[in-house]
C-alpha cells in the first residue's frame, strides 16, 4: 500500500505542476484577449479529480494488490501521463485546464491532435480507469468513469463550441 500511496502522491504532484503551467498559460492568454468558455463546470472538474485521488487511497486500503492487474494498469497510467504531457507541450501557451480561446489564434493540428480532436481526454479516461485499478479499486474506477463521462460530455461540447471560434 505504501507504493500505491506514493503513486497517488506523484499523480497529485503532477496535477500541481499542471495547475502551475495552466495558470501561467491563462495569464498569457488573457494578456492577448483570451476568452474563457464554460467556466461554470470547471470547479466540478477540479472536485472530481481531487476526489478520485482520495477515493483511490480509501478504497485501496480495503483491496488486495493483484500483480497482473496492478502492473498492467500502472503501465496505462504512465502511458496516459505521456499522452497528457505530449498534449501540453504540443499546445504550448494555448494549453490550459480551462477552455480559453485567444482571438486570432489558429487551431493546433500537430502532435496528438493530428489523430484526435481531444487527445487529452483520452488520457483522462484511461487514467481514471487505470489509476484506481493499480490497486484493485474497482468501485472508484467505475464511479469516476461514470461521473467523468457526464462531465466530459459537457466539457467537450463547450470546447468544440470554443474551437469553432478559431480561424483554421
- Residue 106, classed as helix, strand or coil, is strand
Segments in the chain below pLDDT 50: none
Predicted TM-score of the model (pTM)? 0.93
Q: What is the pLDDT of residues 64-78, one digit of tens each?
A: 999 999 999 999 999
Residue 166's pLDDT is what? 76
Residue 94 CB partners (closer than 8 Å, separation 6+):
25, 29, 102, 105, 108
Range of the domain at 36: 2-163
- Residue 111, classed as helix, strand or coil, is helix
Determine the Cα–Cα distance for residues 56 and 140; give it in Å rounded to an integer: 6
Q: Which residue, among 16, 26, 24, has the nearest Cα to 99 in the 3D structure?
A: 26
Residue 72's pLDDT is what? 98
Q: Is residue 168 part of a domain?
A: no
Residue 167's pLDDT is what? 62
Q: Look up the CATH number of the domain holding residue 155.
A: 1.20.120.1630
Give the HSE-up count for residue 109: Cα atoms under 13 Å, Cβ half-sphere. 5
Look at the chain and report how many structural domains it folds into.
Answer: 1
Q: Is residue 120 part of a domain?
A: yes
Residue 164's pLDDT is what? 87
Amino acid at each position: 500500500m505504501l507504493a500505491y500511496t506514493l503513486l497517488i502522491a506523484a499523480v497529485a504532484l503532477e496535477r500541481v505542476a499542471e495547475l502551475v503551467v495552466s495558470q501561467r498559460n491563462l495569464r498569457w492568454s488573457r494578456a492577448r484577449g483570451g476568452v474563457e468558455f464554460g467556466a461554470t463546470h470547471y470547479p466540478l472538474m477540479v472536485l472530481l479529480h481531487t476526489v478520485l485521488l482520495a477515493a483511490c487511497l480509501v478504497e485501496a486500503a480495503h483491496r488486495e494488490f493483484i500483480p497482473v492487474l496492478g502492473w498492467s494498469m500502472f503501465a496505462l497510467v504512465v502511458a496516459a501521463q505521456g499522452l497528457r504531457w505530449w498534449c501540453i507541450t504540443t499546445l504550448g501557451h494555448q494549453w490550459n485546464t480551462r477552455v480559453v480561446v485567444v482571438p486570432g489564434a489558429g487551431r493546433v493540428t500537430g502532435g496528438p491532435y493530428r489523430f484526435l480532436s481531444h487527445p487529452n481526454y483520452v488520457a483522462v479516461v484511461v487514467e481514471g480507469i487505470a489509476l484506481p485499478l493499480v490497486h484493485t479499486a474497482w468501485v472508484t474506477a467505475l464511479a469516476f468513469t461514470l461521473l467523468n463521462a457526464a462531465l466530459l460530455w459537457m466539457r467537450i461540447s463547450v470546447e468544440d463550441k470554443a474551437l469553432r471560434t478559431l480561424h483554421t
